[in-house]
Structure 1
Amino acid sequence: MDPRIEAHAEILVDWSARVEAGDDVVVSVGPDAHELAVAVAGALGERGANVHATYASGELGRAYQLAHDGDFDEDPDHELALYERADAVLFLDGGRNTSEGSDVPPETREAYSKARQGVREARLDTDWVKTVHPTRSLAQQANMSYAEYQEFAYDAILRDWEALAAEMAKMKEVLDDGSEVRLVKEDTDLTMSIEDRVAVNSAASVAYDSHNLPSGEVFTAPHATEGEVYFDVPMTIRGERVQDVRLTFEDGEVVDYSAAQNESVVGDILETDAGARRLGELGVGMNRGIDRFTDNVLFDEKMGDTVHLALGRAYGSNFPPDREDEANASAVHVDMITDVSEDSVLEVDGEVVQRDGTFRWEGGFDE
């Protein structure tokens, strides 16, 4: 086995999920994530954890949703019980077709998502971590050779996470102490309140309230959003290529939108529920091991020189413990990314924190 796969599994189990002896762990395995799943199973066995594996296939999900007749049962008991009793859930993504499910009607997809909201919340209540095994389909989507993509992915995953956590703590402190964020760049002038919010130092570990590997972002839950924002990083959303999205906010809600490609996808997201028109997340990318866009949000949103915003559900970790119920509720959480490497300014309470992709504590920051 490639030693990088074993190193990936070790980081996932020890640093990210913090699995201990006796933990009940669900491992969700994508079709082409077999090698990583084997390495993870071995690591979990060595630590004395209890393992249950599930099969996460886009083709299977597509077939079920297209064939299902009538309403979906809300939160099936057998599925809900699995996650309610789990200590940790490890999602090992590795699909064969990144556009699988693109032909599922939006109304069917939304009905399925809403029916499983309780299941989703039960998963989120565990020490869950999502990661990805480098696959040929992801390499193709990123327009790379398979070997090149493997190098890229492991550069992002096999990091000194403790050192990166210390660096990102500086951004967390700025956001925790701040009240208002302003982002200015081409076709963008957006202000967001972050008062009474808690920023998350997303250092790829549940110990930091972080649930993605790779990670490398600091995020919070904005509100009272006003202005316009332009997302110039292309992305695949619900199996469809979406480009050049523009959103206009008034009183915290999207009041106008457009996109140069697949605008209807954005419209479908916004129509999911009332919460889908509000922001659930503001994230600042800080992982310098990610050096190019790959059309995979798990990597792209963590890239240094980017800021991303998510429509829909906010995370309870961005609120004080006694106010988690104030988090924006929605059946969706859809990230969109804007490049801030040139002609851009990120301000907190009127002070520049990042200019043209460089943070004020980094060399080369121009006062």
Structure 2
Amino acid sequence: MDPRVHEHAEVLVDWSARIDAGDDVVVSVGPDAHDLAVAVAEQVGERGASLLSTYDSGEVDRAHRLAVGDVPEPEHERALFEAADVYLRLGGGRNTSATADVPAETRRAVREAHAAVREARYDTRWVSTVHPTRSLAQQANMSYAAYRDFVYDAVLRDWESLADEMAVLKDRLDAGSEVRLVGPGTDLAMSIEGRTAVNSAASVAYDSHNLPSGEVFTAPADTEGEVTFDVPMTLQGQSVRDVTLRFEEGEVVAHDAAEGANVIGDILDTDAGARRLGELGIGMNRGIDRFTDNILFDEKMGDTVHLALGRAYDACLPEGEAGNDSTVHVDMITDVSEDSRMEIDGEVVQRNGTFAWEDGFEA
């Protein structure tokens, strides 16, 4: 076994999920994430925590969703998460488009039926990661060996040092009232008044739930203008490219795409909250140096900004305030490495991917 698998497991258990003796841990294992699951199980056992593993297959999900008819609320699954302290998702499927032919209305019904399950899962110390697989390497147009190197370069970081770097941007966002993004096909203004940015350093101690991570994100409101997402991606198992959204009074009023416009339309029609933004995220992980058609990596890449339609995270909101609510949270990415700038309250804090406090910044 590649020794980096054990390093990945150790970072996940100790830095990301902060697992300790007595914790009840649920681990969801993708079909090709077996090696990582074995390494994680060993780490969990060494720390004196209990372990329950479940099987996470897109093909299994597809079979059930196409056959079930009316989707019942999975109360047994909710009970599982309500009893858990930690939830780890180890992604690693065999077909990244396994659920592509599940109808949009069925997807919506499943999301609605799982609303209470999601809330119970979010109440755990949950972390999502992926094991490098051949299917993900193929989706990224990379050899398997090169893809493994790519994944571990992104995951096996000095997370404490990166957290210190990202704290500079968090402080700027926390003190700000408005963010403006300007670039090719983009001129978008968002309020961040009263919001708290999350320094997403791949640990629940930072309100961060992805490994790898390496972004700073907040929950915008009152969005106005137009944005173009020029980074291709796969959404709901289908290819989507060059998406444009136009916002008025905080809501999407028009959309288009060079490919996959129907997918975006289905997402927007999910519920009222799906037409509003739940997240503004700025990628800062320089260990991710190329797009791979995997949102877990692509949205963390330096020189990118992503926006999510749908649910806002409570960690960004003042206590007692409800943010944008939706059964979806769908990220889309724009490349800001050229002809782009980000302003906070009129001050340029990033130009062409370089922050004001970094070498090479051009005011």
| TM-score interval for Structure 1 and Structure 2 normalised by the shorter chain | over 0.9
- Length-normalised TM-score, structure 2: 0.99
Instruction: Tell me the residue number matched to 2:61.
Output: 61
Instruction: Tell me the residue number matched to 2:323.
Output: 327
TM-superposed CA distance for 1:265, in Å, is 0.1
TM-superposed CA distance for 1:77, in Å, is 2.0
Find 1:278's aligned residue among 268, 276, 279.
276
Partner-residue secondary structure (3-state), 1:259? strand
1:190 counterpart = 2:188? yes
Instruction: Tell me the residue number matched to 2:340.
Output: 344
CA distance in 2: counterparts of 1:142 and 1:109, whole angstroms: 25
1:31-82 per-position Cα deviation (integer Å, ceiling 9, x unaligned) = 000000000000000000010001000000000000112x2112x2211110
Matched length: 363
Matches of residues 192-211 of structure 1 in structure 2 within 5 Å? Answer: 192-211=190-209
1:124 counterpart = 2:122? yes
After the TM superposition, which segments of 4 or more aligned residues of structure 1 sit over 4 Å from their partners? none
Matches of residues 2-21 of structure 1 in structure 2 within 5 Å? Answer: 2-21=2-21
1:52 counterpart = 2:49? no
CA distance in 2: counterparts of 1:215 and 1:57, whole angstroms: 23
CA distance in 1: counterparts of 2:250 and 2:155, whole angstroms: 35
Instruction: Tell me the residue number matched to 1:108.
Output: 106
Instruction: Tell me the residue number matched to 2:90.
Output: 92
1:145-167 per-position Cα deviation (integer Å, ceiling 9, x unaligned) = 00000000100000000000000
1:69-105 per-position Cα deviation (integer Å, ceiling 9, x unaligned) = 2x2112x221111001110100000000001100000
Matches of residues 1-367 of structure 1 in structure 2 within 5 Å? Answer: 1-69=1-69, 71-74=70-73, 76-323=74-321, 326-367=322-363
Aligned Cα RMSD in Å?
0.6
TM-superposed CA distance for 1:342, in Å, is 0.4
- Length-normalised TM-score, structure 1: 0.98
Partner-residue secondary structure (3-state), 2:259? coil
1:273-316 per-position Cα deviation (integer Å, ceiling 9, x unaligned) = 00000000000000000000000000000000000000000100
TM-superposed CA distance for 1:320, in Å, is 2.3
CA distance in 2: counterparts of 1:13 and 1:244, whole angstroms: 37
CA distance in 2: counterparts of 1:106 and 1:128, whole angstroms: 27
Paired AA for residue 148 in structure 1:
A
**Which consecutive unaligned segments of at least 5 residues does structure 1 have?**
none
TM-superposed CA distance for 1:321, in Å, is 2.8
CA distance in 1: counterparts of 2:96 and 2:285, whole angstroms: 23
CA distance in 1: counterparts of 2:319 and 2:80, whole angstroms: 25
TM-superposed CA distance for 1:262, in Å, is 1.3
Partner-residue secondary structure (3-state), 1:144? coil
TM-superposed CA distance for 1:235, in Å, is 0.2
Paired AA for residue 72 in structure 1:
V
CA distance in 2: counterparts of 1:226 and 1:262, whole angstroms: 23
1:192-241 per-position Cα deviation (integer Å, ceiling 9, x unaligned) = 00001110000000000000000000000000000000000000000000
